[in-house]
Chain A
Amino acid sequence: MTIRKTFARLRSAHEMALIAYETAGFPSLTDSISNIRLLADNGADIIELGIPFSDPIADGPTIQASSHVALEKGISLEQILEIVSHVETETPLVAMSYLNPLLSYGQNHLFEDMKSSGFSGLIIPDLPLEESGDWQRKARENGIDLIFLVTPTTSAERLTALVKASEGFIYCVSLTGITGARTALPPHLSEFIKKVKSLTDKPAAVGFGISTPDHVRQLKGIADGVIVGSRIVRAMKNREDVGALVRGLKEACIES
């Protein structure tokens, strides 16, 4: 199913989308692949698969450490695309990758190979709109949604351009900072999301620092989806009950 259809279905059911992140290759490649099913079976509506990079400047300690473990095991984008192509799931898969591994793979094959592996979308946190022309075109040609991030420091002018360019959904970064679980949501978050929603009919999902069902509940009626990353990676690392964690988050997306 496409990202857009997933959001449309959830919207008519008055549910928020739960976008669950995990790092590909963490704790091992096979575990991360079986965790796709685990996340989906317990309520994740979209799965964001992080492609490990040696220098992840937008990530906090949890995702940095998981990327490091994956790279120590020699994980590569080639391997990830290959193994994901064998995963059968209706849940849309979105890749999150820093630019350099993608450049190294080659822009020309990347989108075709992502498509044939079953990916629906791509997030590149260090690719700004200004440098994204070719990437947008190639993504569109291959039916991959190129998802852009907007942040509380994004100017009004940039915000307008970014919501226009972003496909699938708008990734709203909740705060000025890096990824990582936090105790409370930042102030002014609802005003920021409302500002984004006033500019577009595209779904807006909120990520960075979202880690508890209570955080999710506070966003009901404001955002169309939530992205939970570091909290899930931490649960995988500590061998917590990841299924129960995801179910709890999804229940908070459904409650009215």
Chain B
Amino acid sequence: MSQLPDATGHWGAFGGRYVPETVMTALYELEAEYKAMKKNSSFNREFNQILCQYVGRKTPLYFAERLTRKIGGAKIYLKREDLAHTGAHKINNTIGQILLAKRMSKPRIIAETGAGQHGVATATACALMGLDCDVYMGAVDVKRQRMNVFRMELLGTKVIPVESGSQTLKDAINEAMRDWVTNIENTFYCIGSVVGPHPYPMIVRDFQTIIGQETRRQILDQEGRLPDLLVACVGGGSNAIGLYYPFLEDNAVRIIGVEAAGESIESGKHAASLGQGSPGSLHGAMSYMLQDEHGQVLEAHSISAGLDYPGVGPEHSYLKDIGRVEYVSATDQESLDAFRLLCETEGIIPALESAHAVAHAVKEADNMSQDEIIVVNLSGRGDKDLEIVEGLV
């Protein structure tokens, strides 16, 4: 399963390239350039050097001893992506894609962003490499996440508010795609998750796989064996697939993805595309998605803006259907409780996205023995969420 996607960008029935004809040639070009760069030693050297000296990799694999003791079950390790530059795993991907754009001589970068984390990571990489950058952001999110808008502007990026549709992430992706269709000759679209048409889900996964590769070496070094369970949150699913990928063939390692259950699954106000959705075509790929009985895309709901998306990466859809990964969900309230728990027991303020993973991991830990090991991907830090959390915990 780690050989996938196939030559046409599919994981079984999922993935593919469901986009307007105008961008098809550009997708083939991107795929060819990416495959060449993957084997290019100077590209890889530059990528690794930036990850090491600028992003601050490798990030620690931290044994959360007080949290573990408090739960009284399996040992809980945290992969500290929150310590990467800009405060989340998103930077791994944007450094890779912007390096690729630069080598493809594309002078202009566009990106979409929900809460602003991918927007900030893209703006950062563009400032680092001296490229022009426009970021599409739903008008509702622009208002909700003013500090991230300001961050992007400080980094020299233009933030374009999207007034169409629900004015959130889904609409920001639509508008970024429309821009790309229009300015295809000089513009590189830097997608922020393992979504979109082939080759994007593969490229973003490959750039995020560093998370799992480091984790594997670190746990072998620190514990002398592989973990029993991996847990990560899933919106589009890039931090999750980055952690899972190097472990997919290790059948003894259980893998769980945690979607946002929002207010609750029963309320219908959630973002559980895999748990509650059905297969369809959204933003260029076939995957599970939230849709009504007529194939219209539904709005997602989550306290965490990074999980507030009605689709999910096609590789996750495949991993669900073949049963390799279990997908569960955590509610807003459960995540807030986990947020507080991690603050108090470990002195770590997690992103609300990552708090979903923590919320489920402590449930699992409770039912596991003390000699078992869980690795949780702590995908981002929570400074960005303080205004939302204030008054709720």
Which chain A residues have a beta carbon within 8 Å of chain B's beta carbons? 53-58, 60-61, 64, 68, 71, 76-78, 98-105, 125-128, 130-131, 148-155, 158, 162, 173, 176-178
With A and B bound together, what is the CA distance between A176 and B23 in angstroms? 9
Q: How many residues of chain B get a CB closer than 8 Å to chain A's CBs? A: 36
Assess whether A58 is in contact with B181, with CB atoms less than 8 Å apart. Answer: yes
Q: Would you give 10 A-B contacts (Cβ < 8 Å), ordered by A?
A: A55-B174, A55-B297, A100-B295, A104-B294, A149-B21, A153-B184, A154-B25, A162-B21, A173-B22, A176-B181
Q: Indicate whether B177 reaches chain A with its CB closer than 8 angstroms.
A: yes
Assess whether B17 is in contact with A173, with CB atoms less than 8 Å apart. Answer: no
Assess whether A153 is in contact with B282, with CB atoms less than 8 Å apart. Answer: no
Assess whether A54 is in contact with B25, with CB atoms less than 8 Å apart. Answer: no
Closest chain B CB from A167 CB (angstroms): 16
Closest chain A CB from B277 CB (angstroms): 12
Which chain B residues have a beta carbon within 8 Å of chain A's beta carbons? 8, 16-26, 28, 164-165, 170-171, 174, 177-178, 181-185, 280-284, 291, 293-297
B17 contact set on A, CB distance < 8 A: 128, 130-131
* Count of inter-chain pairs, beta carbons less than 8 A: 115
With A100-B280, A100-B281 known, 15 other A-B pairs at CB within 8 A are A53-B295, A55-B165, A57-B20, A57-B283, A64-B164, A68-B164, A100-B296, A104-B280, A130-B8, A131-B16, A149-B20, A149-B21, A153-B21, A158-B24, A176-B22
A176 contact set on B, CB distance < 8 A: 22, 181-185
Task: Assess A151 versus B22: contact at CB under 8 Å? Given A68-B165, A177-B181.
Answer: yes
Nearest residue, chain A, Cβ from B297: A54
A78 contact set on B, CB distance < 8 A: 294
A99 contact set on B, CB distance < 8 A: 18, 281
Task: Assess A104 versus B170: contact at CB under 8 Å? Given A126-B19, A173-B21.
Answer: no
Nearest residue, chain A, Cβ from B311: A55
Closest 9 CB pairs of A and B: A104-B295, A101-B295, A177-B182, A100-B295, A54-B296, A76-B294, A151-B22, A54-B297, A99-B281
With A and B bound together, what is the CA distance between A77 and B20 in angstroms? 21
Nearest residue, chain A, Cβ from B8: A130
A162 contact set on B, CB distance < 8 A: 21
With A and B bound together, what is the CA distance between A64 and B297 in angstroms? 14
Closest chain A CB from B175 CB (angstroms): 9
B280 contact set on A, CB distance < 8 A: 100, 103-104
With A and B bound together, what is the CA distance between A60 and B175 in angstroms? 10
- Which one, A100, A126, A152, contacts B20 given CB within 8 A? A126
Closest chain A CB from B32 CB (angstroms): 12
- Which one, A56, A68, A103, A128, contacts B19 given CB within 8 A? A128
B28 contact set on A, CB distance < 8 A: 155
Closest chain B CB from A26 CB (angstroms): 15
Task: Assess A155 versus B178: contact at CB under 8 Å? Given A58-B20, A100-B280, A105-B295.
Answer: no
Assess whether B296 is in contact with A71, with CB atoms less than 8 Å apart. Answer: yes
Closest chain A CB from B109 CB (angstroms): 18
Task: Assess A153 versus B294: contact at CB under 8 Å? Given A100-B282, A128-B18, A130-B17.
Answer: no
